[in-house]
Amino acid sequence: MTQDPLSTPVFNPLPVAVWVLVLAIGAVELVLWAGAHGLVNWSGSAGWRVQALVTFGVSPEVQGWMLETRQFPPEHLIRYLAYGFVHLGPAQAALVVVITVALGKYCTERLGSLRMLAILALAHALGGFAFGLIAAPGTWLIGGYALIFALAGTYAGLVWSGAEGRRARIGALVLVGVLLSGRIMLAALMGGGADWVADLVACVAGYALGHVLRPGVLARLRRV
């Protein structure tokens, strides 16, 4: 019997992990935008974005203090997970959301939501830590670029591990190469600090984790 084409779903809903990321980024940006435009009448709402930068941004001074004193209070550790949800404005947040939807759907459908969120959290945190090691004093890291580069790396790792032909694997590496080259060139042209280091480290970490932690790897290792 021929299946009715109208009964075939033409839209696959986004996985839970993608919804979590998109809603979190959108909610934070909406609150900060509303405060900056006077839509919220709370005291100090106009400066919420700056406050969020100081509260959740990664700072080389703060990281240096933690490493020197061997004190790691939760309010500082949370920075390595939260910095990617605070953006400079709606345009940056929108770009991060679009790329998160595009790459996150593919990755999460193959890894599962919990595994995907764990990979992104670790890659994101490693990117922030790398920034804190080499960034100049007085600089801050915020924005979801490290998040989308971690997604790009994870995507490339999955394509590489699941590809049957050499062409597909080369295509996965080309994707990462183009993204990283473009990011480094942009940093050089714009004179922006060490933000690109966080993106590079997050991308490499996402690639490695996406390749190693894909479903079935442990089972294959046990058979070796």
Per-residue pLDDT of the chain (224 residues; tens, 9 = 90+): 444 434 444 456 889 999 999 999 999 999 999 998 888 777 778 889 999 999 999 999 999 999 999 999 999 999 999 999 999 999 999 999 998 998 899 899 989 999 999 999 999 999 999 999 999 999 999 999 999 999 999 988 888 776 656 776 777 777 777 777 777 776 666 666 788 899 999 999 998 898 788 776 555 544 54
Secondary structure (DSSP) of 119-133? HHHHHHHHHHHHHHH
Residue 209 lies in a domain: yes
The parent domain of residue 28 ranges over: 12-223
Q: How far apart are CA 62 and CA 73, in angstroms?
A: 11
Residue 50 lies in a domain: yes
Residue 2 lies in a domain: no
Residue 30 has a pLDDT of 95
Provide the b/e sequence for 168-184 (b: ≥16 CB within 10 Å).
Answer: ebeebeebbeebbeebe
Residue 3 lies in a domain: no
Contact in structure between 206 and 150 (CB atoms under 8 Å): yes
Contact in structure between 216 and 138 (CB atoms under 8 Å): no
Residue 165 lies in a domain: yes
Report the number of distinct structural domains present in the chain: 1
Calculate the alpha carbon distances from 164 to 18, 22, 127, 161, 169 in Å. Answer: 27, 32, 31, 9, 8
Q: Which CATH number does the domain housing residue 114 bear?
A: 1.20.1540.10
Residue 7 lies in a domain: no
